[in-house]
Structure 1
Amino acid sequence: MKKIKRLESKVDFHQAKWNEPIIFELHQAGERGVEIPLASEEVVKAVGNGLSTLPHNMLRVDKVNLPEIAQVRVLRHYVRLSQETLGSDFNVEIGQGTCTMKYIPKINELLIRNHKIMGLHPLQDISTVQGMLEIIHNLDLAMREISGLDFFSFQPSGGTQALFAMASIVQKYHEARGEGDQRDEIITTIFSHPSQAATAAVKGYKIITLYPDKDGFPDIDKLKEVLSERTAGFVVANPEDTGIYNPKIKEFTKLVHEAGGICYYDQANANGLLGITRAKEAGFDMCFFNLHKTFAAPHMCGGPATGALGVTRELKEYLPGPIVEKNKEGYYLNDTLTHSIGKVRAFHGVAQTILRSYAWIRSLGPSGLKAVAQTAVLNSNYLYSRVQKIRGASAPYVKGQRLEQVRYSWEQLTQETGITTEDVQRRMTDFGLHYWTSHHPYIIPQPFTLEPTESYSKTDLDEYIAALEQISREAYESPEIVKNAPYNSTIHQLDEQDYLDNPDKWCLSWRVYQKKTQDVNALQ
């Protein structure tokens, strides 16, 4: 095999490798990180021992199953694990396409760690949380300007829950008009996020999916064919996961409205639209934004997140309650919405995520938000022009400008060399980089989706492009180099490829792991 070349850049990456046990295996009985002092006699006399006043059914029978381990070993354990991963603070993270991995201002991280917000509790009296309610209300006002809609709720935990809430609003709206049973169909598009169809299906709707025309736009003629008195609503992401923005979107929403349906908009990723176009002008009745994407709050492995859900004035009364409003006495939680779909989570949003996004918006202002969109689109189009020049790579459908992301294809590379997008993905990790194969939906063959956002410089993008160019050369000249990758990572190729798809192999907790290993040992 030919010598494996490193990427010609300033980065000489080789991932740290530690044979690190999981923390439960580091347990040593009697070892302590913090020794909690007993309550003083005076405290015990005043409030008891802390347990006697609790209801009997709330008292544990067994001791909490936590590892006993010293602070220094906890620190060592997690620092080692942090060296075995990639992330947006560690590398050029443009490869998690559609997830909008961007720089999170560290001053905002310090802000949310202030004791005044860390100590908040959702059951506090509203008189004691006027500051946080004011921030929520002000973020609502900002979102109204950004979207053109009239009221926002920050109760949904994320985009999928916001989609579920919007499908619930559609259903309750038609029920209130006496058409709940009649209007039982939701229309979406194949390149929109699968959560759109899934959440509507959970509400009992039949899903009608529009496929793209030859240029990659949702087929408007097909929309006309499927619209009927059974149409409850239309849900779409625009731009979709291809990065293509549908210029006829207002015609779509007009047709749906004429058929009596509600239009709702997946704007989980609105990074290329801020200050440029709004949901209102596109004809939508509802939309949501993911604060943990466009608005500079971290994903944090799936949470805590927030799906900011906005509606027109006509749909305010259907929002999940409560919503934050203001009167002459101050800020309060309005839970008297006439047709509210009810709570979609126990409490009102994630305060830290809301504060991060509010601080980000206030620091940028209207002109700054527009500059974010312009820079994101510029970065995406620079990448778009360069990637299409790489041998074996392409960007299917309409040629020309894309917005904040593009779904690319290695179909030609695979046909000519046998190297797949998964092979390229593994080889990218040798350079301390990563990309997402974007498998939902798997319509574009051998896909990969890149989104540079506004956070990355031309130098960053050139480094990423250089890695793709080198891997393409290797695929044509020495494909075994790519096939056998990775070489510089902590893990080589897995012998079995079904871990993510086989529930029998999932171990989501130490207790589940113990049970499954015990079951296997018992069978042997």
Structure 2
Amino acid sequence: MEGIRQSISFADRHIGPNPDEVGQMLEVLGLKDLDALVDKTVPQTIRLKGSLQLPEPKSEYAAIALLKEIASKNQVFRSFIGMGYHDCITPPVIQRNILENPGWYTAYTPYQAEIAQGRLEALLNFQTMIIDLTGLEIANASLLDEATAAAEAMTMSYGICKNKANAFFVSKDCHPQTIEVVQTRAIPLGIDVIVGDFQTFDFQQPVFGVLLQYPASDGTIYDYRSFVEKAHAVGALVTVAADPLSLTLLTPPGEFGADIAVGSTQRFGIPLGYGGPHAAYFATKEEYKRQVPGRIVGVSKDSQGNPALRLALQTREQHIRRDKATSNICTAQVLLAVMAGMYAVYHGPAGLRNIAENIHNLTVLLAEGLKRLGYTIGSENYFDTLCVELGDRNLKEILQRCQARQINLRIDTTIGITLDETTTLSDVIDLLEIFALSDSLPFTVEELAPKSNSPLSRTSNYLTHPVFNRYHSETELLRYMHRLQAKDLSLTTSMIPLGSCTMKLNATSEMLPVTWSEFGKIHPFAPQSQTRGYQVLFQQLEEWLAEITGFAGISLQPNAGSQGEYAGLLVIRQYHQSRGETHRNICLIPQSAHGTNPASAVMCGMKVVPVNCDTQGNVDLDDLKAKAEKHKSELAALMVTYPSTHGVFEEPIREICDVIHANGGQVYMDGANMNAQVGLCRPGDFGADVCHLNLHKTFCIPHGGGGPGMGPIGVAPHLVPFLPGHSVVQMDANNPKSMGAVSAAPWGSASILTISWMYIAMMGGAGLTDATKVAILNANYIARRLESYYPVLYKGKAGLVAHECILDLRSLKKSAGIEVDDIAKRLMDYGFHAPTVSWPVAGTMMVEPTESESKEELDRFCDAMISIRQEIEEIELGKVDAQDNVLKNAPHTAESLITSEWNHPYSREQAAYPAPWTREHKFWPAVGRIDNAFGDRNLVCSCLPMEAYSQG
């Protein structure tokens, strides 16, 4: 309409280079337009015919309004369901300054520790909190959820135990979702899960481990000491799934003999979010430190001898040990662990105990009132949960009264009521009136005097470290959190050009809905009649992802990329079993594959057979054919990444898939590089049977410093019946072939799915396709600008790369004694996070700029890399000492530069301000280069005394 001007679209804001800059970059590449680039990059045989059939893109305002309308279909009841999920209060200072702060949520996994000291310290606080509360010696930096942490404990126990048993005992008093996930994990490993009553189990059947719930799912507090002794007597390891808040009042698991403790820290200030994301914990004895799954933050020292934090014992992780790894988990829930740890810092030991005692006292009041009303309480030993026996009362009438007051209870053969931090005296009165079947009570609550009823009172101290006792005013806590944030390089600082990790824009409009109460305050087991908004969100997102990938079915349940790999392979395993081909257990994996791939295959009971790559970095087709033919009768699957991990669209991908299918196998495609495919090609069209999608990469869920992640899977039509189910909400009631649950919550970390929904809704099909084209353009522009300084290791047929490129630095070791790590650390002095280092090829850097970075930022990164190459040339020419130079001594901290003595053959100015932009905005690394070996030899994974941090 005349007079009305079209406003700038969201896609224009998401994509970094403007049209003029796109033209300039294309000119450098000698190409006329983006379509010409795509034609030379993506094989014509797999190109999408037509365009993505998605809704027209919406403006940020319109998308938010539409999602708000969808959210309004959810009903926020007061949920007293429990089962490991509790409403809680997120302190506003933590919500605003961590959860909603891009300085925290856009950072990457802290592999470059010198520029990640803030969140490493926050994670060390989390580990210390867990060690103190559980009474065990070592804890990791979080896992995905309580159920998968329990499953990890099972497999760790299986690997450690020496009694050669293959049975695992699980108490029937564990949360049902935990039991189901443990059973799912056990089946492919040949582990026999015995679910039974711990009070009658006599250990006549040998077991390698046991799992107990503390307090039990129905709220009962059991004294497990004699049972633990019996388990140890037969050589079994004991895992206790414990509610961490209850441990402020109850004897910790470590003090009654537990070998492992797991659980969820969700009630430490993390919203319910219809199931996630939440940070699970995992604690154990120090003797098992090399078997612990996930990441461990440890204390080491830097080049100046100051305390410095890093991820410790990485040699036990998947990317190193591959199929020998104890777990495929490389994902933590960092952002949520940081929040949970800060919740403990905010409240301190006295505050946490006060919250726990208040919840317990209200529970005692409720119990006394119910008894006065004639009800029987299942156990007299409880913390926050009551099991109410109805007798001859009418359940239907009670439920009607619950509905009228918008209250959810746990309904089973008895009624469960779990109180939480948000519960008030008014809530207790409401509950009593419901059970009284009257709007008035025959007594006053003042008559119900609370009294302690715990038989296992805690006597040991916890959270004694100063960090949990000095930041209780908001002023002090705010400053502490800001000091930590300032030590971390995030996307608020500069580009994070990590290959295969897709650190793109996480737009504010995408993040806003995460904290809406309509999404955040929903219990994962609330009746689906109350979650119609979530169901609309799931349906639309599944349809959109199916259209983008070309698959027939999507499961949103896997709550990490590693979980997606595992779930995808389980689907394939279940498919083969349904056809009577249980013998198919060989998984072909190219040597270039992600490190989690082999570990995932082993967890699914498969045997890994590596496939060679050729000199161009592609899958060696001859070797693939030979091994597929050799293992024809046992072939289960091929795991392949596309574009390849080497950053190239392999031409014969259709033929690769055909080879596997011809030999009876299925093709699992790792979706880590989906950012190069969206709108251009679809894995479901060119032969993949399963593909997992990293929503925290391609679809804009932020990395959160190393989590949360989401790894939904898409599958071809014949695999749809085998997608994950969930018994608690009867997801698989009409699907008997389902493999069961792989995550604790039915739809994984549901609340962050709003981010990907917003991204797709605002981009639309054309915007998503343009983003992919520009991602490929940006990578090729960097490759072209740098190739005369650093050779690009692999290229496609037309001399171009996909959305990432590998820079070959190996010759520099011979010519100048410079290692890839030296360049990574020197980049910090220029204000950049290093690209992916020494993976998938040792001695290289893999660069992925994404579509969100402007040409100006790309040029700044290229200028930094070129400048570093010139610094290396001075070493090669003998102008600079081979050991005492700006690269070997990088990164340079402010402290190292203001010392009175300066004995280096280069100036302070050259060290600190190597490029013009560093004078305008200087990001200072918090510590000097960290001594990794020292940290592993002297493992410390809890907080040091405050005096150790001389810099504050």
TM-score range, shorter chain: 0.7 to 0.9
| Structure 1 residues 458-497: aligned runs within 5 Å | 458-477=855-874, 478=880, 480-488=885-893, 489-497=925-933
Higher mean alpha-carbon deviation, 138-147 vs 331-340, is at 331-340
- Specify the alignment match of 2:624 in structure 1: 223
- Specify the alignment match of 1:211 in structure 2: 612
Q: Shift of residue 413 of structure 1?
A: 2.0
The structure with more radius of gyration: 2
The two structures have a TM-score, normalised by structure 2, of 0.47
Q: 1:85 and 2:484 equivalent?
A: no
Q: Shift of residue 398 of structure 1?
A: 3.6
Q: Is the 8 A contact 1:200 1:207 kept in 2?
A: yes
Q: Is the 8 A contact 1:425 1:435 kept in 2?
A: yes
Secondary structure of the structure 2 residue equivalent to 1:497: helix
The 2-side partners of 1:469 and 1:154 are apart by 43
What amino acid is the match of 1:360?
Y
The 2-side partners of 1:185 and 1:135 are apart by 37
The 1-side partners of 2:802 and 2:651 are apart by 12
Question: Per-residue displacement from partner, 1:227-254 (whole Å, max 9, x unpaired)?
Answer: 1212111110011221011110110111
Higher mean alpha-carbon deviation, 257-266 vs 83-92, is at 83-92
The 2-side partners of 1:16 and 1:277 are apart by 36
- Specify the alignment match of 1:410 in structure 2: 809
- Specify the alignment match of 1:286 in structure 2: 690
Q: Is the 8 A contact 2:732 2:738 kept in 1?
A: no
- Specify the alignment match of 2:577 in structure 1: 175
Q: 1:296 and 2:700 equivalent?
A: yes
Q: Shift of residue 29 of structure 1?
A: 7.9
Higher mean alpha-carbon deviation, 143-152 vs 265-274, is at 265-274
| Structure 1 residues 70-469: aligned runs within 5 Å | 70-94=473-497, 96-181=498-583, 183-227=584-628, 228-322=632-726, 333-347=731-745, 348-390=747-789, 393-398=790-795, 400-441=799-840, 444-469=841-866
Q: Sort the Cα spacing of 1:136 and 1:427 in 2 relative to 1 into closer, same or farther, 3 A.
A: same
Q: Sort the Cα spacing of 1:469 and 1:353 in 2 relative to 1 into closer, same or farther, 3 A.
A: same
What amino acid is the match of 2:705?
C
Secondary structure of the structure 2 residue equivalent to 1:429: helix
Question: Percent of pairs identical after alignment?
Answer: 28
Q: Shift of residue 30 of structure 1?
A: 9.2
Secondary structure of the structure 1 residue equivalent to 2:933: coil
The 2-side partners of 1:252 and 1:210 are apart by 12
- Specify the alignment match of 2:421 in structure 1: none
- Structure 1 stretches lacking a partner, 5+ long: 1-13, 324-330, 518-524
Question: Per-residue displacement from partner, 1:486-523 (whole Å, max 9, x unpaired)?
Answer: 11421112345353xx386151x55xx79xx9xxxxxx
Q: Sort the Cα spacing of 1:60 and 1:123 in 2 relative to 1 into closer, same or farther, 3 A.
A: farther
- Structure 2 stretches lacking a partner, 5+ long: 1-113, 130-344, 363-423, 433-444, 875-879, 894-924
Higher mean alpha-carbon deviation, 421-430 vs 300-309, is at 300-309
Q: Shift of residue 440 of structure 1?
A: 4.0
The 2-side partners of 1:217 and 1:398 are apart by 10
Q: Sort the Cα spacing of 1:131 and 1:215 in 2 relative to 1 into closer, same or farther, 3 A.
A: same
The 2-side partners of 1:16 and 1:450 are apart by 20
Q: Is the 8 A contact 1:31 1:70 kept in 2?
A: no
Q: Shift of residue 32 of structure 1?
A: 7.2
What amino acid is the match of 1:233?
A
What amino acid is the match of 1:465?
C
Q: Shift of residue 302 of structure 1?
A: 3.0
Q: Shift of residue 57 of structure 1?
A: 8.2
The 2-side partners of 1:337 and 1:72 are apart by 54
Q: Is the 8 A contact 1:292 1:353 kept in 2?
A: no
Question: Per-residue displacement from partner, 1:275-322 (whole Å, max 9, x unpaired)?
Answer: 000012211111111100000110113322110101111111111114
The 1-side partners of 2:478 and 2:816 are apart by 45
Question: Per-residue displacement from partner, 1:195-251 (whole Å, max 9, x unpaired)?
Answer: 111111122222111121122210111111001212111110011221011110110
The two structures have a TM-score, normalised by structure 1, of 0.84
Q: Is the 8 A contact 2:349 2:463 kept in 1?
A: no
- Specify the alignment match of 2:939 in structure 1: 505
Q: Sort the Cα spacing of 1:104 and 1:503 in 2 relative to 1 into closer, same or farther, 3 A.
A: farther
Q: Is the 8 A contact 1:435 1:449 kept in 2?
A: no
Secondary structure of the structure 2 residue equivalent to 1:111: helix
The 2-side partners of 1:225 and 1:51 are apart by 77
Secondary structure of the structure 2 residue equivalent to 1:233: strand
The 2-side partners of 1:401 and 1:475 are apart by 27
Q: Shift of residue 193 of structure 1?
A: 0.7
The 1-side partners of 2:688 and 2:625 are apart by 18
The 2-side partners of 1:285 and 1:168 are apart by 12
The 1-side partners of 2:823 and 2:775 are apart by 25
Secondary structure of the structure 2 residue equivalent to 1:402: coil
What amino acid is the match of 2:544?
A
What amino acid is the match of 2:480?
H
